[in-house]
Homo-oligomer: A and B are copies of this chain.
Amino acid sequence: MTVAEEIQALGRKARAAARALRTLTTAEKNAALLAVAEAIEAAKPEIDAANAEDVAAAQANGLSPAMVDRLTLTASRFKSMVDGVRSVAGLPDPVGEELWRRERPSGISIRKVREPFGVVAVVFESRPNVFVDTAALCFKTSNAIILRGGKEAIRSNKALAAAVQKGFARWCGPDRPLPLLDAVQLVQTTDHAGVRELVRMPDYVDVAIPRGGERLIRAMCEAALIPVLKHYKGVCHVYVDEGADLDMALRILDNAKVQRPSACNAAECLLVNAKEANAFLPRVEAWARERGVTLHEADADWGREWLSLDLNVGVVADVDEAIAHVNAYGSHHSDCIVTRDAARAAKFQRDVDSATVYHNASTRFTDGGAFGMGAEIGISTDKLHARGPMGLEELTTYKYYVSGDGVVRG
């Protein structure tokens, strides 16, 4: 069997599974998720052993310590992975929600209702917990899922897939439709051709979600014949306006830069209004020294995603120049204005072309949990379908249910 044949076979099975999934009630899906959580817990020894092999191989192959860290399923990561499945079981089910209903003069009655996509393909890199997190979110939304993980995590992923499969099969019992068992599938080969094939089967896969770096995402978009819900990068800005509360500005900057510099919603660039530069920049320098932040002022660095204790700093003449800078160098993710002026705040929020635009609040709030979505499968920097944090609702499409009494079009 070639890689393409393997992937196509998974696709065919996923499509059949998606049709079977659509027949499950919310209560059934929740019960299945709890059974899966239990099965993962029961399989901890096998999963740990597989993960230890992956980690040993990664170390032997000289992978970076950061990579090895991401690969490692520590006890606390294991626990939060299992807790995550249980918490998804407790979330409201968006499938079947009526978005609107209209009675038309023609005599038809229209209901717009949330529906699953059908089949979702998730391509991820070294973190094995992504397998379980995304499988749970897709299952809850009645989507079949095909997962393709990194080569370095293949043993861990296979062990996790086996545990999920076991829990799910036990819950299904002998009487449920067989295709259901293919609701969660792992691509067994880690040949790179598999990723390409996954995004070129519009009959079998409805949407692809990459969970990885920019290179992976670009390669997938270039090959894709299906929509790709993606998050390129987070180049977030904090703009300190004329007359801003500088204590507040420093508090927001500190949170946005230092609390978790590796997060996509961390600030990468500070813009200061020229009228505040003399008052604010010395305070920023003192703060940077105290917090171990390196400040950068070179033009070549605009737009750089540091993901570390580094920060670009620029001075702008006014809010218009700040907006132009953010739109030119940002990544349409999360940007903030610190100001006391309501009109300039409104202008900045309207004209900055980003998923989330803040007024007097830290960019770090961009997150499914902080937004009250209950869960997050990623943050979209696209504008179509989903923008910003993606929760369960963003894993659904909709369908029109139209009924009449034999009515025809005049």
Contact = CB atoms under 8 A, between A and B. Distances in A.
Interface string A388-405: 100000000111111111
B106 A405 contact: no
Interface of A is mostly: mixed
Interface residue tally of chain A, by bracket?
35 or more
A364 B409 contact: yes
5 contacts: A23-B350, A110-B371, A259-B408, A361-B407, A371-B400
Contact of A406 (B222, B248, B401): B248
Given A22-B351, A383-B206, A409-B362, A356 B399 contact: yes
A158 to B, nearest CB: 30
A357 B102 contact: no
Contact of A409 (B22, B117, B255, B350): B255
Contacts of A371: 102, 104, 110, 400
Given A252-B408, A254-B408, 6 more contacts: A23-B351, A222-B225, A356-B399, A357-B402, A361-B402, A361-B406
Contacts of A406: 245, 248, 251-252, 338, 360-361
Interface string A314-356: 0000000000000100000000001000000100011101111
A330 to B, nearest CB: 12
Given A384-B397, A399-B387, A365 B106 contact: yes
Contacts of A222: 225
B118 A404 contact: no
Given A104-B370, A351-B22, A259 B361 contact: no
A359 B403 contact: yes
B397 A118 contact: no
Contacts of A405: 248, 360
Most B C-beta atoms less than 10 A away, residue of A110, A227, A400, A404: A400
Interface in A186-228: 206-207, 221-222, 225, 227
A409 B267 CA distance: 13
